[in-house]
Structure 1
Amino acid sequence: MTAPLRVVIVDDHRMFRAGVRAELLEAASAGTPVEFVGEAGSVEEAVEVITRERPDVVLLDVHLPGGDGRGGADVARACAGVDSNAGEPVRMLALSVSDAAEDVVAVIRAGARGYVTKTISPDDLLRALERVAAGDAVFSPRLAGFVLDAFGAAAGEVAEVDEELDKLSAREREVMRLIARGYQYKEVAKELFISVKTVETHVSNVLRKLQLSNRHELTSWAMARRLL
């Protein structure tokens, strides 16, 4: 039997926390089991429950009372050295109504592994939690570009051409950029007017040509070359 994904929810609205729990439990009924091991409504409460429960992943709002006034970023920074019960680092997935660049960059700089907005569906949120718990980076479409600022990329700066990039066809480069930005396969297919199966083929080719293993490595590779 698959071990449940141990989750802590951090949000200052109790009704929202209850709603997320209910939606995720329903989404998880046919897939990966989820166990909610704690919740918090402030920075101090969050640090205490995360340190005590040592969850696999924390669903973290970026605007919280307490701490030094930086909200979710304070939580991520304070819990950076905490390991889960499984011995892996506790991962943080930011979940917010905000899609402002400063919010995205602040919480990612502090150590969060991903950032999604509250418009996300329960099924997609569950998949995002699974991926973040596994060590991947996850972003809502079009938010990943903000993360470039955290890596010091200047706006409009053009990446240098290198031999690895030259291995990719024009279409593979388009697919690579969208995947690295956090788009799902069906979103890439819609954006480029191709089938999901064709997207899967392109992604496999990109990973093989670049000798990468997963989307997280692809995102890091693209960020290092300022290709997003």
Structure 2
Amino acid sequence: MAFDNEYVLRDAGYRVVASVDTVDAAVETIHAGSPDLVLADLHLSGGGTGVDVAQAAHDAGVPVIFVTGACPEAARALAIGCLAKPYSQRDLLAAIDAVDAKIAGRAPKRLPRGFTLF
């Protein structure tokens, strides 16, 4: 799914810093790449969870969207939103647009199905 997201995002004009599947790689990427946004699944390989990634991103001032089946309770304190799986490419792009709008102080045009904006 991460590589599908990467393709969709690049096709939409976004620059994808990295697609990783461990907490350590994600934290390293956050600190080295200065991303504008992190998409974090809850379940990662190699120990740790997306909550650990969200904490690192939050500490670095990078907004996070959880993309997972069930949004963890800790998400509200660490993330800007949660997009429930399964989601469409259109829903992913609309969720990012909604986050962009919120960060810019504008009301989002629409919230896609399965997306909660905190």
TM-score class normalised by the smaller sequence: 0.7 to 0.9
Partner of 2:31: 51
Partner of 1:95: 67
Larger Rg: 1
Q: Distance in 1 between matches of 2:113 and 2:50?
A: 17
Contact 1:57 1:132 in 2 (8 A): no
Partner of 2:15: 35
Partner of 2:2: 17
Partner of 2:73: 105
TM-score (normalised: structure 1): 0.43
Moved over 6 A (4+): 136-139
What do you get for the CA RMSD once the two structures are aligned? 2.6
- 1:119-141 CA-to-partner distances (Å, cap 9, x unmatched) read 22212211211322442896854
CA 1:34–1:133 in 2, change beyond 3 Å: closer, same or farther?
Answer: same
* Counterpart AA for 1:62: L
Q: Distance in 1 between matches of 2:27 and 2:63?
A: 13
2:81 maps to 1:114: yes
* Counterpart AA for 1:127: A
* Counterpart AA for 1:39: S
TM-score (normalised: structure 2): 0.76
* Counterpart AA for 1:106: A
Residue 90 (structure 1) shift = 1.0
> What runs of 5+ residues in structure 1 fail to find an aligned partner?
1-15, 83-88, 144-181, 183-215, 220-228
Contact 2:17 2:35 in 1 (8 A): yes
CA 1:140–1:74 in 2, change beyond 3 Å: closer, same or farther?
Answer: farther
Q: Distance in 1 between matches of 2:86 and 2:72?
A: 15
CA 1:121–1:139 in 2, change beyond 3 Å: closer, same or farther?
Answer: closer
Count of aligned pairs between the two proteins: 112
Task: Trace 1:130-209 onto structure 2 (pairs within 5 A).
Answer: 130-134=97-101, 135=103, 140-141=113-114, 182=116
Partner of 1:172: none
Contact 2:3 2:19 in 1 (8 A): no
Q: Distance in 2 between matches of 1:54 and 1:133?
A: 16
3-state SS of 1:95 partner = strand
Contact 2:9 2:16 in 1 (8 A): no
Residue 105 (structure 1) shift = 1.2
Partner of 1:212: none
Residue from 55, 75, 78 that aligns with 1:77: 55
Contact 1:46 1:75 in 2 (8 A): yes
